[in-house]
Structure 1
Amino acid sequence: MSAAGRRWGRRQRALLWGVLLAAWEAARGQLRYSVPEEMPKGSFVGDVAKDLGLQLPALSHGGVRILDKGRTQYFALHGKTGHLVTAERIDREQLCRLVEKCVLRCELIVEGEMQVYGIDVEIMDVNDNAPSFRQAEKDLRLSETTAPGSRFPLAEAHDPDSGRNSLRSYELSGDEHFSLAVQAGPGGDQRPELVLAKALDREEAAFHELVLRASDGGDPARTGTARIRVTVLDANDNAPVFSQAEYTVRVPEDVPVGSVLITVTATDADEGLNGLVKYSMKKETDMASDIFHLDSETGEITLLRILDFEEGDSYELEVQAHDNGALFDTTKVAITVTDINDNAPELTVSSKLNEISEDAPAGAVVALLHVEDRDSGRNGEVRCSLDVGAPFRLEKSYEDYYRVVTARELDREQVSEYNVTVRAADGGSPPLQSSAVLALRVLDVNDNAPVFAQERYSARLAENNAAGALVLTVRASDADWGQNARVRYRLGDVRFFPIVVF
């Protein structure tokens, strides 16, 4: 089978697994699917209509839709088929470069049922990236007195793919003086090291050219290379030594840009150029280089941009101190970011009624709300409330969703319109809050009878009046509205009372 055929088969198996998983998750109000990355826009993800038992007429009339929360929408609901499809091409490495399992979340609302379903879509990796080195060329300076067996860390390759498609192995080509060793890092990553296999002799060879090759586990495998140029120097027999094996610091997320977070210090017992210490990041990720700056001369680590606890609450840097030769020491810098209450609750009206009949029973749903707060701990704990005295109450619906329902029967003749304010406040000190206003009109029902202005009317009438002469005028009013308040009059039985003279 060709490589293209194998990739197609893997994609089909991934889609089949997503369909089988969705069948039993749907009953719990939660759907789970999977789809390979880089699929074209409009690609099938899952049969939402089938999994939830929805009718196609409801879909075509807009009764079922994907909720829009202002974020990028990666999925859409096909109105004719009820299929969940991709709304654009999805790059897993762009969305989930910091996590192993890439899951995108969207929510589907069924208007008629006032029901929300969560949908998790796992983005499966394909081998679309080759391993690459941050530096395509590395200059290494070694003393000719370096003992055989000495090890020197090499730049690690980076492959944004995951699983078997990620980095798998290293190979070194060069000469007999060097070999390659690969160590496992704390996180399971592979760290290549250059091993001096044979003593160096500057007079025999002042330079050595090596090639480090990194390969991933894809089929076919992708590779990347880095060139290593080793310069042989005269003796430098003392390495720099850090004052601490590990540095730790805690900083609030609102620390000003440009602040010095911590300073690392290393000393070298050598003199002159061999004792001059400089600092560098041993393993510098794209994110770390965007946030922190290490001064190579002073060892100060400063902040380049505003921290965001919600984006990252801890960072670990590996700092290397090296002298003018090839000797070095390594330390770890752990930076912990503490949260401040800098995010107000986000209150969104997902669905609502504009009008309701006054004879609606208590407990009738008039709105569906969603609330979330990006802060953590007490700063992210949200409490919702309604206006005091309003005939409505809040009910928890699904996760961070709330329903606004009637607390009792309504009376249009007392209040015909409501502007209900919903407030969301977090637990910070001071608390941050947001609000939304629900405008609701109460529709009339014919629940009031006409009432005469007087219980009894009397009039004096001269005899022999012509037909059609006005006798008296009666008045009645109805508290209802519109057609229900229109009053008509008719006479009942007319009785005459004779006058008896004694």
Structure 2
Amino acid sequence: RWGRRQRALLWAVLLAAWEAAWGQLRYSVPEEMPKGSFVGDVAKDLGLQLPALSDRGVRVVSEGRTQYFALHGKTGHLVTAERIDREQLCESVQQCVLRCELVVEGEMKFYGIEVELMDINDNAPSFREAEIELRMSETTAPGTRFPLARAHDADLGRNSLQSYELSGDEHFSLAVQAGPGGDQRPELVLAKALDREEAAFHELVLRASDGGDPARTGTARIRVTVLDANDNAPVFSQAEYTVRVPEDVPVGSVLVTVTATDADEGLYGDMKYSYETVSVKASKIFHLDAETGAITLMRNLDFEESNSYELEVQVRDSGDLSDIAKVVITVTDVNDNVPEISVRSALSEISEDAPSGTVVALLHVQDRDSGANGEVRCSLDGELPFQLEKSFEDYYRVVTAKELDREQVSEYNVTVRAADGGSPALQSSAVLALRVLDVNDNAPVFAEERYSARLAENNAAGALVLTVRATDADWGQNARVRYRLSEGRVRGAPLSSYVSVQAETGALYALRSFDYEQVRELALWVRAEDGGAPALSSNVSVRLLIVDENDNAPQVLYPPAAVAAASAAWRAGGWSGVELAPRSSEPGALVLTRWLVLAVAAVSCLFVAFLLLLLALRLRRWRREQLLAAESGALRGVPVSHFVGIDGVRAFLQSYSHEVSLTADSRKSQLRFSAASCCDTLPARPAPDEPAPLLGDE
């Protein structure tokens, strides 16, 4: 059967294992240790490998503004970051525990660490006043007790104040009474009657010692002045004064007034108030008026710093008789502290394909107020794809609520807001800047569904045909678009021998001079491919139409050479027929035919206008000749052949007759000219011996 020691050891091992499993470590270290002193082997206790400490971003975070501990990167030891004074941090607290967290940023984990500061005997007992003045009447009866000022020792346990000693005079002895809290209260006891005539003053030494090894001591000199008789001591109206004040009470306010009465009159009835026992901190916060007993606030109160103060007030008359009363000042909490948000670990970049639930940041939220004023609620501002999850006690995690899309939002400013339960509520916020990293999830998209262009034949080699353009919604290398032609063949030759595309700009160039009579249209595909891995691509169709130009002379298709003789004979009969056709009878040739028809029509109109003008001139001349003949008869000898009549006009028209025969097919269009149309319709100039015709005087 196991003994008690074995069972206690087993419970201790189980407790340590339970705390380690739940991420809690506890160490103890004496106070006043130099900077860098060993506290505990964190790496060993948590099972962390030393080489991975720096890679995982392991660091120690302490509550408050002062960092008392640090992690040694090479050994994994928790060490002190500075000299720690227990009495400064934990005044009047039996167990002084400092808490910190070990944050592993690479794994988004944290471990709680508690370090208990062990007291050492670094403070000697001390009295508030090195010299104590006492006044006693010579009629004071032996055995009368006079409370003395107590010594103060900031240490605890055996290192605190343990005993008092009195030396110097046989008239006095020392008695030590136990207070309500177990503290020692020294009292000066009159052991022998005083005689002012024998000795007006008595010099004593009060020594206070602690229990340290070696022990520390503090002394105070007591000077007793022997006075005439004073048989009534002052008495407080109540033994204990209790007051509750809010922490936001204004400076200068009177918190409480203690009052005492003395039955004596005259000089022995005058009383003075003073502190009997008060801590150094309380003496700087509360002022006691020696005349009125009013306690006034000299500095702002802070509930989070201290919520209660105990004072001992003494009233003393001129005969050096006194009384003591206790004053308890309780500070009530006011919602005067905003919640504090500490970012323990946070990401600055996240991939857009990160799965839902990815941890973005680890936050610690606390409010120094108490009760409802210290209850904190956290939330995220705006409709963002993130959510808060409570991790452990005051820790929260910011995680993704759904998949991200960088093409819609490339950066997020996540505002975490913390509000307490006060009325009105106080709140604070922290902003997490998060950049979304691109993933190649978008293929290039062309600006048009299909492209087409027209290119005149006989173009110069290297001529720009058109430019295709595609855009990619991704970013960086994933958005870099390159173009290339899809493989194909034209008239048995590779497509790449006809056209090429510039990989960076998408410009399509003709590599050779096109001939409409050989290639009239090119249909090809252009592929746009991004720079991702793997790459994404898309295709677009391009149609290139070759435009015909008049680059071929007409050829005589009919009559052939075999029938040339017959054609000549036929021309002798009065008409000749020639069929003209260009090498191409396509739309280009039809356009040429239309222009020829318009030219012939224009010449015909001009010809008709010329005939009408000539006819008008002939008629005008003929009329003038008739008028001259009627008046003078001078024209009777003129030959008739010198005048042009209706028959002459008909002959003129016949001399310029032609026939146009046009069809839709330019190969079958014919233009026939009369063979016997070369005679001059105007009369020949008369011979020199012939008389000139009379045209009249003009």
Same topology, TM > 0.5: yes
Contact 1:19–1:46 (8 Å) recurs in 2:
no
Q: 1:51 aligns with which of 45, 50, 61?
A: 45
- Is 1:209–2:194 an aligned residue pair? no
Q: 1:312 aligns with which of 291, 301, 306?
A: 306
Amino acid at match of 1:491: S
Q: 2:371 corresponds to which residue?
A: 377
Contact 1:314–1:334 (8 Å) recurs in 2:
yes
Aligned-partner SS, 1:289: helix
Aligned-partner SS, 2:392: coil
Q: Distance in 1 between matches of 2:273 and 2:460?
A: 119
Aligned-partner SS, 1:25: helix
Q: Distance in 2 between matches of 1:319 and 1:367?
A: 54
Q: 2:486 corresponds to which residue?
A: 491
- Is 1:250–2:244 an aligned residue pair? yes
Q: Percent identity?
A: 83
Q: 1:438 corresponds to which residue?
A: 432
Contact 1:23–1:51 (8 Å) recurs in 2:
no
Q: 1:269 aligns with which of 263, 267, 271?
A: 263
Q: 2:33 corresponds to which residue?
A: 39
Amino acid at match of 2:421: G
Contact 1:22–1:51 (8 Å) recurs in 2:
no
**Bigger mean CA deviation after superposition, 141-150 or 433-442:** 141-150
Amino acid at match of 1:294: L
Higher helix share: 2
Give the unaligned 5+ runs of structure 1: 1-17, 497-502
How far the C-alpha of 1:304 sits from its partner, in A, is 1.2
Contact 1:152–1:194 (8 Å) recurs in 2:
yes
Q: 1:350 aligns with which of 344, 348, 351?
A: 344
Aligned-partner SS, 1:282: strand
Bigger relative contact order, structure 1 or 2, given CA contacts below 8 A and separation 6+? 1
Q: Distance in 2 between matches of 1:224 and 1:290?
A: 23
Q: 1:183 corresponds to which residue?
A: 177
Amino acid at match of 2:276: K
Q: 2:623 corresponds to which residue?
A: none
Q: 2:167 aligns with which of 166, 173, 186?
A: 173
Q: Describe the superposition over 1:21-41 as per-residue Cα deviations: whole angstroms up to 9, x where unpaired.
A: 877633321211111122222
Q: Distance in 2 between matches of 1:264 and 1:447?
A: 80
Q: Are the structure 2 counterparts of residues 446 and 324 from structure 1 closer, same or farther at C-alpha, using a change threshold of 3 Å?
A: same
Q: 1:13 corresponds to which residue?
A: none
How far the C-alpha of 1:479 sits from its partner, in A, is 3.0
Q: Distance in 2 between matches of 1:211 and 1:470?
A: 113
Contact 2:372–2:422 (8 Å) recurs in 1:
yes
Q: 1:226 corresponds to which residue?
A: 220
How far the C-alpha of 1:464 sits from its partner, in A, is 10
Aligned-partner SS, 1:132: coil
Look at both structures and tell me which one has the larger radius of gyration over its CA atoms. 2
Amino acid at match of 2:486: L
Q: 1:64 aligns with which of 36, 43, 58?
A: 58
Contact 1:93–1:161 (8 Å) recurs in 2:
yes
- Is 1:425–2:419 an aligned residue pair? yes
Q: Distance in 1 between matches of 2:338 and 2:41?
A: 36
How far the C-alpha of 1:461 sits from its partner, in A, is 8.7
- Is 1:287–2:281 an aligned residue pair? yes
- Is 1:108–2:102 an aligned residue pair? yes
Q: Distance in 1 between matches of 2:465 and 2:199?
A: 133
Q: Distance in 2 between matches of 1:466 and 1:276?
A: 124
Q: Distance in 1 between matches of 2:109 and 2:196?
A: 77
Contact 1:40–1:86 (8 Å) recurs in 2:
yes
Aligned-partner SS, 1:157: coil
Aligned-partner SS, 1:170: strand
Q: Distance in 2 between matches of 1:236 and 1:20?
A: 68
Aligned-partner SS, 1:274: helix
Contact 1:21–1:33 (8 Å) recurs in 2:
no
Q: 1:392 corresponds to which residue?
A: 386
Q: Are the structure 2 counterparts of residues 209 and 467 from structure 1 closer, same or farther at C-alpha, using a change threshold of 3 Å?
A: closer
Q: 1:195 aligns with which of 152, 174, 189?
A: 189
- Is 1:361–2:361 an aligned residue pair? no
Q: 1:78 corresponds to which residue?
A: 72
Q: 2:540 corresponds to which residue?
A: none
Q: 1:412 corresponds to which residue?
A: 406
How far the C-alpha of 1:364 sits from its partner, in A, is 0.3
Q: Describe the superposition over 1:305-350 as per-residue Cα deviations: whole angstroms up to 9, x where unpaired.
A: 1111111122121111111113222222221222222222222222
Q: Describe the superposition over 1:252-297 as per-residue Cα deviations: whole angstroms up to 9, x where unpaired.
A: 2222222221211111111111111111111121111101111111
Contact 1:21–1:32 (8 Å) recurs in 2:
no
- Is 1:303–2:308 an aligned residue pair? no
**Matches for 1:87-166 after TM superposition, within 5 Å:** 87-166=81-160
How far the C-alpha of 1:492 sits from its partner, in A, is 5.6
Q: 1:10 corresponds to which residue?
A: none
Amino acid at match of 2:223: R
**Bigger mean CA deviation after superposition, 390-399 or 450-459:** 450-459
Q: Are the structure 2 counterparts of residues 196 and 477 from structure 1 closer, same or farther at C-alpha, using a change threshold of 3 Å?
A: same
Aligned-partner SS, 1:363: coil
Q: Are the structure 2 counterparts of residues 146 and 421 from structure 1 closer, same or farther at C-alpha, using a change threshold of 3 Å?
A: same
